[in-house]
Amino acid sequence: MTVAPPTALAPAAPAPAPAHAPASAAAARSSVRDLLRRAGVSLDSVTAADVLLVTSELVTNAIRHGGGLAAFHIEITDDALLLSVADTNPDPPLPRTGTPDRPGGYGWPLVQRLADRVDVRSHGGGKTISAELRLA
């Protein structure tokens, strides 16, 4: 699914978190949790669970399939969380079906289903996947 980039939306308080590349999906989730908490989003909500799951999937896929996590950026606009994950592989994610020998294949379809918008952009150094999830 390709849509207009979330960066086209006007940012609002709280201020965006700095761009960085966390060492793991757990570290990325921790950054997202902190941002959600500062924005007043209940960490017990389904919305927070969806945001954290999308974060885990995108970061894990960048590490496992994308040649490593190159950049990570999160920010909250008026009513949405915008998440961008960059890796060093320019190829777009492809859905796959798990097998008994190689389980998995659920992450990318989950991201597409849970996010309100997803944008995949290839560039010279790899690709950036941006996702927007409504908080309201």
The tally of domains found in the chain comes to 1
Q: Do 47 and 115 touch, CB atoms closer than 8 A?
A: no
Output the tens digit of pLDDT for each of the chain's 136 residues. Answer: 444 444 444 333 333 444 568 889 999 999 999 999 999 999 999 999 999 999 999 999 999 989 999 999 999 998 999 999 999 999 999 877 777 787 777 889 999 999 999 999 999 889 999 999 999 7
* 107 found inside a domain: yes
CATH of residue 107: 3.30.565.10
* 3 found inside a domain: no
* 103 found inside a domain: yes
- Continuous H helices in the chain: 25-38, 46-65, 107-114
* 1 found inside a domain: no
Full residue range of the structural domain in which residue 69 is found = 18-134
* 8 found inside a domain: no
